[in-house]
Amino acid sequence: MRTILAAFLVILAAAPAAGAGPARRAADPPVPAPTLHEIRTTTQPIRIDGVLDEGVWETAWSKELPVEVTPGENTPAPVKTIVMLTYDREALYVGFRGYDPDPGAIRAHLTDRDSSWADDWIGIVLDMFNDQRRNYLLLVNPLGVQMDNIEVTNVDSQEWDGIWHSAARITEWGWAAEFKVPFSSLSFQRADGAQVWGFDAVRGYPRTIFRADMGLMPQVDYRRARSVARYQWLPGARTWFTNIYVFGEVTHDETQRGSFLVRTAIAGANYQGPLQSHIGLRLAQKRETYRGQVFDQTTFQFHTCGRPTGATNYSFNVSSGDRIDYAHASLGRRLRVNGQIQQRVGRHLQMALAPTWERLRVDEGQLYEALMADVRLTWQFTSRLFARGTVQFTDYSYDPRRYADGRDRSFAGTFTQMLLSYKVNPRTVFFLGYTDTREGADPDVLVQQGPTLFAKIGYAWSF
């Protein structure tokens, strides 16, 4: 389980500043009432290199992150972290010192932007309007790889890809980081004089977070009633788990006019333990209408994932149960097995394998069976430049009698891609690549559909 440390407060700034959103997220535990802190301006130049050797950092406002918020709940922080703030007419500057009892165990890899969540990281949350509705989250890992998004109360996090500057480096006492956040990259209060912003400093310390998404909701124009119950066991000082909980959930969806859509009842259990391991069990009963018919479905899901080392992570999932065959408006039985393993070698190389197998049976027999595999090798030269090779393989078998499009009994294909990507900034990216696609009814005899060489650029101006 990753340890996350935090310091919640309100800062008082006198800049023509920036902004948008709450410094606390819904998952955070209650915290003491915030206090005002005045942040002093600076006229000294600051070089964003992760060294923190400018004199301004000795006089800047600073605070230690005092508490652990997960897996502990407002318990004393296990490591020392200092955050420092100052600003000038153009930007907010942030400095961090993250002390570590074993700097050699710090997790840090060169990755593409927004892809270093498994590493150590450190960062800030800015609520420029101090209304706890919307905020900016800005993080870096110990090699300066940036991650950011916009968090909105009661809404999933949104990608941001803001243009800001950062650097970090590992030291003999831990690691240090510097941020420069231009006010031009943020939304802010249109007011003269001092402004009050919400502020949160956070640190991820992965040696002592798991997130599972329930999926997309493609239905629109509907309303939902939802009831959830949960019982949780918290760990003691020394124990074999970091979090265990059981839960039950009932949801009811209907159209805005009151017509029934879906009712779902779920019971489940989750375990989180050493090595960032997680095991989840879920049993669901679902009643759904489709084409005027009502279908009752029962499904069982098993999920496990973990990170045995700082360079290795895995996941494995099994889902079994009823599934609507939407093409024929009938009920089938689906079995799906998928997994993923990622291995990092040094700071630059990442290897990933993701196989998936799925089968759907109906009363008349097997409707289809599918095998898919995705293999990727990525070499990250810098946080801006990477080269990636991808090979995808698919092999499908069908019962042609159940399909009106006259498809063959089997279909197989391979997709190969070589890609070079360079980011000038988060919104200006250049791609150069080559793809090769081969398809056919016999996986041993695939026909090339034509190689493609391509170049693409996406760009943005900041003004």
CATH code for the part of the protein at 3-205: 2.60.40
Give the residue extent of every domain in the chain: 3-205, 210-283+300-305, 310-463
DSSP string, 205-217: ETT----------
**Strand-strand pairing, 134-140 and 452-458:** unpaired
The pLDDT value recorded for residue 2 is: 55
Confidence (pLDDT) at 16: 41
Tokens matching residue 276:
């960032």
pTM recorded for the entire structure: 0.70
- 8 Å CB contact between 74 and 5: no
pLDDT tens for the 463 residues of the chain, in order? 455 655 555 555 544 433 333 333 344 444 445 578 888 899 999 999 999 999 999 999 999 988 887 776 677 888 899 999 999 989 999 999 999 999 988 999 988 888 888 899 999 999 888 887 889 999 999 999 999 999 887 666 678 888 899 999 999 999 999 999 999 888 877 777 788 888 889 998 887 643 222 223 344 456 778 888 999 887 776 678 888 999 999 998 887 777 778 889 999 999 998 888 999 999 999 998 887 788 899 999 999 999 898 889 999 999 999 998 877 788 899 999 999 999 999 989 999 999 999 999 988 888 899 999 999 999 999 989 999 999 999 999 988 887 777 778 889 999 999 999 999 888 889 999 999 999 888 877 788 887 899 999 988 665 5
Name residue, tokens 């080392």: 309
Q: Which residue has the tokens 């081969």?
A: 438
As a whole number of angstroms, the distance between CA 211 and CA 243 comes to 13
Q: Are 242 and 1 in contact (CB under 8 A)?
A: yes
Q: In the chain, what's the furthest Cα-to-Cα distance?
A: 77
Quickly tell me which residue has 């509705």 as its tokens. Answer: 133
Residues paired with residue 393 on neighbouring β-strands, in sequence order = 373, 414
